[in-house]
Structure 1
Amino acid sequence: MSTITTSRRGLLAAFAATLVVAAPKASNAFGFLRGAGDIRRIHMYSGRTGESLDTIYWIEGEYVPEALNEITRFMRDWRTNDVKTIDPRTVDIAAASHRLLDSSEPYMLLSGYRSPATNAMLRSRSHGVARNSLHMKGMAADLRMRSRSVGQIYSAALSCRAGGVGRYNHSGFVHMDCGDIRSWQG
């Protein structure tokens, strides 16, 4: 099992950020993350690849490019190994939802980026897969947690009011994306 972690530079910057006491500064991030602090972290694992990710991707009002690259690699299409840049707004929604859930358990990533071939294959097997899925644009993630119900994760993501949120009770996951604000149950 491999582990993806933040870079030394990112860790040092995070450590330095915790030592500085300053007035909060406005950010250009989603409104639901304002006041969330000067550090944003995402913690996930993939049952498909055996990899885990625990990284600080935002420090003092700025995304950490190395961390975003790690997130993009982690959220690749595991079936084809294709990689597409993950929109950081999707990561923001997942991180904010996780924070609201008040859990130290990582998300289990079921699907991040999907290649067009993977999306077409999944679409042929299920009516719940969109033809123009935001997964193919690196703008969506399907997530679950053992310690929280689908309903709890869905409610946390909905409360962010920052994108699309789908509740899939039978499959046991929640879809989060940074597209238009909307919700559904599949």
Structure 2
Amino acid sequence: MTSPRTGESIDTIYWIEGDYIRDAVREISLFMRDWRTNDVHNIDLRTIDIMAAAHNLMDVNEPYMLLSGYRSPKTNAMLRSRSSGVARNSLHLQGEAADLRLNSRSVGQMFRAASACRGGGVGKYSGSNFVHMDCGPVRTWGG
């Protein structure tokens, strides 16, 4: 993954033969922190799994561009004041969601891959060129 906000990137193996690698998961959570406040929250392993599974289905080498991972309450409130599309109780607040982009795949392709995983919620934001993936109830939205 890369972050357009911080310029950071991460390429890590977080799971081997049925076991999560604790240090790698910690590194992913640090990477997916709220870049506005620098607050770190554990990212739900199910969200990481959905992201990885969708990425594998698309058969790409390009890393995701992470637009938003964990969001602090302060950041979520600020975003809600600017957009009606930000949920009051967003799963980003619990480290259970990510907003992602790939230059080599369309929003529709990413949406279909993530939806095929049937692991949580998938939102298509074509106008903003990103896909939301979360480990909440299985559902889809967007146009």
CA distance in 2, matches of 1:50, 1:181: 32
**Is residue 114 from structure 1 mapped to residue 71 from structure 2 by the alignment?**
yes
Q: What is the match of residue 89 of structure 1?
A: 46
Gaps of 5+ in 1: 1-43
CA distance in 1, matches of 2:58, 2:67: 19
Structure with the bigger RCO (C-alpha within 8 Å, sep 6+) is 2
Q: What is the match of residue 11 of structure 1?
A: none
Runs of 4+ aligned structure 1 residues displaced above 6 Å come to none
Select the structure of larger CA radius of gyration: 1
Please give the root-mean-square deviation of Cα atoms over the aligned residues, in Å: 0.6
Q: What is the match of residue 19 of structure 1?
A: none
CA distance in 2, matches of 1:121, 1:171: 18
Q: What is the match of residue 140 of structure 2?
A: 183
Tell me the secondary structure at the aligned position of residue 110 of structure 2.
helix
Deviation at 1:45, TM superposition (A): 0.4
CA distance in 1, matches of 2:56, 2:17: 18
Structure having the larger proportion of residues in strand: 1
Per-residue CA deviation, residues 105-159 of structure 1 (Å, 9 max, x unaligned), is 0000000000000000000000100000000000000000000000000000000
Q: What is the match of residue 156 of structure 1?
A: 113
Q: What is the match of residue 25 of structure 2?
A: 68
Q: What is the match of residue 50 of structure 1?
A: 7
TM-score by length of 1: 0.76
Q: What is the match of residue 103 of structure 1?
A: 60
Per-residue CA deviation, residues 162-184 of structure 1 (Å, 9 max, x unaligned), is 10000000000000000000110
From 147, 156, 159, the counterpart of 2:104 = 147
Q: What is the match of residue 78 of structure 1?
A: 35
**Residue identity in the other structure for 2:115:** L
CA distance in 1, matches of 2:17, 2:122: 28
- 1:21-36, aligned counterparts within 5 Å? none
Gaps of 5+ in 2: none
CA distance in 1, matches of 2:21, 2:8: 20
TM-score by length of 2: 0.99
Deviation at 1:60, TM superposition (A): 1.1
